[in-house]
Structure 1
Amino acid sequence: MFPVPGATVALGSSSMVIIADPGDHPEVSGVWNDQEFRLVGPVPAPVASRLMEPMPFTTVGTPPQPLMRLFVRFDGGCLYLGAGRIPMCEVSEGVLVRCHLRISPPLSREVLDRVRPPVTPPPPPVPGWLGDVRANPGRALERFLTAWYPVASTREPTADIPGSLPRALAGFYRLAAQRPAILGSHNRIRLLGDLRPDGSAERLVFGVECQGGWTWSIPCGPGAADTDPTVWFDDGHLVPEQETLSGFLLQFALEEAAIGAPYRTSCHDWLCR
């Protein structure tokens, strides 16, 4: 028996049982929709080994995927959902952090509403920050981030922010003290302690692409606190971004909020015409 956030995994000699709690929370294991169950980790090594060996995308003649049975726990017992099939696993630094399981057969609306009870969504953030985008992008950024991201830490904004940082970047780090998610889940703004000059020592690298393919930097030197400097994109060739630092951070935050949101919808051009 192995606990994971929101569920318990039981391993047998030839099969696996996953028992989750009812509810709707993107950070723990459970039913995602009528066709998908998500196992959220970190997943213990014996479970990860069973899930990933063999991988679901294998050649003819490899052993079949492990048999998985999915349940949701209630006071009176457990409700059987169906079998689980693995379309995708996510690994970070050698640890299985998330596994998407296809529920077979898909759940009926009645069962889905029982295991994932409908809730009234909170009111969306008031987009008042839009009025500040052109005149005061730093204020627009702060209003957006504090409306979109709840406080996740009681940690006070650090007093260790260097006085040489431009005001926009210093303000971003103050917000990140209690809302660390704003540093990004796809591309990343470096942690304050990881800020380093580039090889030329002329620019401070503050942002990195998710696979390390490129970086973003700003000129470093005395007097930077009172500036809104140019942001330099570097993938082996330096190119200035169209937005200065304050506008760049706003666009970075908007993109990361969209990419990292637990629920997303998209529209393809051919469907919108």
Structure 2
Amino acid sequence: MPVNPRDLLTEGAAMRLAGDHVIGYETDGASVLLGDAATVIIADPRDGTDVSGLGSSRRFHLHGPFVGDVGARLFGRPPDSPEGSWAQRPDVRPVHLLTRLPEGHLYLGVGKPEQTRYTHGCLEYAALTIEPQLPRS
């Protein structure tokens, strides 16, 4: 299903972006869905760099903690992982970013993982660049 930034999706349509065999993870203010086709991150509409969601027209913040799969999908293995090295490439499947609104889920674009912070093997924070950049309005 092709989607464009600023498209309004139902919850079911947003979840279908992930594809089959979806595993869901929840954190305060955000849901992360890992599926065969993509990663889908749906955040509540909150402002600030200390909460998950849209930080600016170019930046999306995700706050954990998330163990295992979410960090590996976005960034490859953490530095202390016995299964691989930090240099291992992240997954090539797209990361779709959405925000929840009363009228549906607003599609923001594709997220490119840029920054991360791990604590004791758990993904605590991730910053993703939104592509294409959203209009300032």
Indicate the residue corresponding to 2:46 in structure 1: 23
Unaligned runs of 5+ in 2: 1-23, 79-85
Cα deviations by residue, 1:157-199 (Å, 9 ceiling, x for unpaired): xxxxxxxxxxxxxxxxxxxxxxxxxxxxxxxxxxxxxxxxxxx
Instruction: Sort the Cα spacing of 1:88 and 1:66 in 2 relative to 1 into closer, same or farther, 3 A.
Output: farther
Unaligned runs of 5+ in 1: 111-273
Distance, in Å, in 1 between the alignment partners of 2:95 and 2:56 is 18
Indicate the residue corresponding to 2:129 in structure 1: 102
Instruction: Sort the Cα spacing of 1:103 and 1:93 in 2 relative to 1 into closer, same or farther, 3 A.
Output: same
Indicate the residue corresponding to 1:9 in structure 2: 32
Cα deviations by residue, 1:5-62 (Å, 9 ceiling, x for unpaired): 211111111310000111213332011111110111112422122122268x858xx6
Amino acid at match of 1:42: P
Indicate the residue corresponding to 1:91 in structure 2: 118
Distance, in Å, in 2 between the alignment partners of 1:50 and 1:70 is 15
Distance, in Å, in 2 between the alignment partners of 1:75 and 1:21 is 10
Q: Which has the higher contact order (CA 8 A, sep 6+)?
A: 2
The structure that has the greater radius of gyration is 1
Instruction: Sort the Cα spacing of 1:23 and 1:64 in 2 relative to 1 into closer, same or farther, 3 A.
Output: closer
RMSD, matched Cα: 2.2
After the TM superposition, list the runs of 4 or more consecutive aligned residues in structure 1 that deviate by more than 3 angstroms: 62-66
SS of alignment partner, residue 81 of structure 1: strand
TM-score, with structure 1 as normaliser: 0.36
- Give the drift of 1:63: 7.0
Indicate the residue corresponding to 2:62 in structure 1: 39
Q: Aligned pair count?
A: 107
Q: Is 1:49 the equivalent of 2:76?
A: no
Distance, in Å, in 2 between the alignment partners of 1:63 and 1:48 is 9
SS of alignment partner, residue 107 of structure 1: coil
Percent of aligned positions that are identical? 36
Structure (1 or 2) with the greater strand fraction: 2
